[in-house]
Amino acid sequence: MPSREDVAYFGAGPAPLPTEVLQRGAEAFVNFENTGLSLAEISHRSQTANKVLADTKSALTSLLQIPDEYEILFMHGGGSGEFSAVVLNMVAVWVEKRRRRAAAELDGDERQVVERVKREIRDELRLDYLVTGSWSLKASQEAANLLEPLGKGFVNVAVDSRQSDSGRFDTIPSEDSWKLTPSRSKGGEGSAFVYYCDNETVDGVEFPRLPSCLNHSSRDGTDELLVVADMSSNFLSRRVDVSKFAVIFGGAQKNIGITDVTLAIVRKDLLSCQPSSSFLHAVGVWSPPIILNWPVIAKNNSLYNTMPIFSIWIAGEVMRGLLETHGDRGLAGQEQLADEKAGIIYDVLDRHPDVYQVVPNKSVRSRMNICFRIRGGDSTREKTFLEYAEGQLLQGLKGHRSVGGIRVSNYNAVPLKNVQRLAAYLEDFARRTMQ
C-alpha cells in the first residue's frame, strides 16, 4: 500500500493539501484544542467559530495586503455560485446608482423614478465579459440566463478567444481588439462591471497580469470601471493589487483548502449601494437570494446560516503556512516557487515538440494548469502515458473530460520534488516514444 509520500498528485481540484495541515486537521476533527469536541461539531455561533473566522480573515489580509475598504466573505456555492451572485449583486449596485441619480433629478417622484430606471435598464444596462476559456464562458452564459426575463442583449462578450484563427481557447486576443462597453467619457454609458477569469483550469490559459485597459482604480461615480475577477484556480499563487478590483472570488478547493467554502473579497462601498428588494422588483430585476446576498452575508459576519467552520479553519491553516514559509516575502515567495515549478514542466515539454504539444499560446500559458497533447492528440499514446504514469504513482493527470489530453495541475501544495519526479517521467516517456 503506497504512503502519502509515495504518491505525486496533480489533480485539478479537489487539489493536494500540505500534509502537515491534514495532520493537524485530523486532530482537530476529533478533538479540537483539547475541547473534547470536533471542529466539525462546534456551534457556528460560538466564540471558537468566530475566532476561526477572524484568524482566517487576518491571514488572508496579510497575504494579499487587503485594504481596509474591503470585506472578506465566506460563501457557499463554489465559483459557479458566484457566477450568479456577481450578476445579481452587481446589477443591484448599478440599479441603485441609477435610482439615486433619478431621484435627485426628479425630486423624488417615485413613479417617475421607477419608469426612468426601467427605461435605462432596457437601453443602457450592459455586463462586459472577457471569454477566454470554459469557465468564463459558463459565467457569461449564466449572466445571460439570469437576465433573460428582461430581454436579450444585456451581456456584452467583449472578447471571445475562440474567434482566433484556431477556433479554440488557446490564446488571449490583444486588448485593442476587445469591444468593451464605452464609458461615459468615451460617449457611452459604461458597463455594470467587467468580468474575467484569471486562470482557466480546463484550457490552461492564464492572464499574465491584470489587463492594461482594466488597470486603473479611478472611482469617479458613473464612469467607474468595476472589475470582477474569478481567481479560483490561481488564488494565492502570486501577488495581486486588490485595490484594482471591485470583487475577487475563488473556490477553496484548489489553492486554499477543501471543498464547500468560497471566498469573496468585496469593496465595502458596493455593499452599501443596494436598493430595496421592492424597488428591484418594481423595475423588473430579481433581488439576490439570501444565500448569495453579499450585504446580508457581510452584515452577519458570514454566519447568516451554518458555515463549515472546519473547512474555514483548514483554509486558515493553509494561509498561515504560506506566511510562515515565505516570511516577509509573502506571496512574492510563492509566486517565485510557482514560476519555478511550471518552468520545469514547460522546459521538458518544449524540448520534445515531436512528442508533446502545449495547448495554449506561449504568451498565456498557465502556471497552475499545464495542458498538452501527445503526438497531436493520439488517444492511444495518451492512454498509455496515463497508464504508465499511474504505475509510477503520478496521479491526476487526465485532461478535463470536455477537451481531453493531459493536464498537470501545479497548485501551491504540489511539492517541488513531485514536479521533478514528473519531469523525469516526461523525459523518459519522450525517449521511449521516439525510439
Interval 15-72: pLDDT, tens: 999 999 999 999 999 999 999 999 999 999 999 999 999 999 999 999 999 999 999 9
Angle at 411 between CA 407 and CA 417, to 5 degrees: 90
DSSP-assigned states of every residue in 197-245: ESEETTTTEE-SSS-GGG------GGG---EEEE-TTTTTSS---GGG-
- β-bridge mates for residue 264, sequence order: 73, 249
Mean pLDDT of 275-296: 97
pLDDT at 299: 97
Mean pLDDT of 105-115: 94
Mean pLDDT of 140-157: 96
Residue 338 grid cell: 510557482
Identify which of 269, 264, 267, 223 has the alpha carbon closest to the alpha carbon of residue 246: 267
First to last CA, the chain: 33
- Are β-strands 406-409 and 369-374 bridged in parallel, bridged antiparallel, or unpaired? antiparallel
pLDDT at 164: 78
More confident residue, 311 or 1: 311
Is residue 166 very low, low, confident or very high in pLDDT (cuts 50, 70, 90)? confident
CA distance 156 to 154: 6
CA distance 388 to 380: 12
Identify which of 207, 209, 208, 182 has the alpha carbon closest to the alpha carbon of residue 194: 182
Instruction: Give the percent of the chain with pLDDT over 70.
Output: 98
- Residue 107 — left, alpha, or beta (φ > 0 → left; ψ -120 to 50 → alpha)? left
Average pLDDT of the chain, as a whole number: 95
CA distance 103 to 74: 34
CA distance 264 to 92: 17
Q: pLDDT of 179-237, one tens digit each? A: 999 988 888 889 999 999 999 999 999 999 999 999 865 555 556 899 999 999 999 99
pLDDT at 395: 98
Is residue 376 pLDDT above 80, yes or no? yes
Which of 106-120, 131-145, 222-236, 374-388 is the least confident region? 222-236
Identify which of 123, 164, 118, 162 has the alpha carbon closest to the alpha carbon of residue 140: 162
Phi, psi (degrees; rounded to nearest 5) at 70: -120, 150
CA distance 76 to 261: 6
Identify which of 331, 308, 182, 187 has the alpha carbon closest to the alpha carbon of residue 252: 308
pLDDT at 219: 59
Q: pLDDT of 226-267, one tens digit each? A: 999 999 999 999 999 999 999 999 999 999 999 989 999 999
Q: pLDDT of 357-369, one tens digit each? A: 999 999 999 999 9
User: In Å, how far are 6, 353, 368, 399 from 349, measured between CA atoms?
Assistant: 24, 7, 15, 16
Mean pLDDT of 404-410: 97
Is residue 377 exposed (0-12), middle (13-18) or buried (19+ Cβ within 10 Å)? middle
Which residues neighbour 408 within 8 Å (Cβ) at sequence distance 6 or greater?
10, 345, 369, 370, 371, 397, 422
CA distance 34 to 28: 9
CA distance 14 to 84: 22
DSSP structure class, residue 288: P
Find the largest Cα–Cα distance for the chain.
Answer: 82
- Which helix H or strand E contains 394, and what residues bound it? strand 394-395
Which residues neighbour 314 within 8 Å (Cβ) at sequence distance 6 or greater?
17, 21, 25, 257, 258
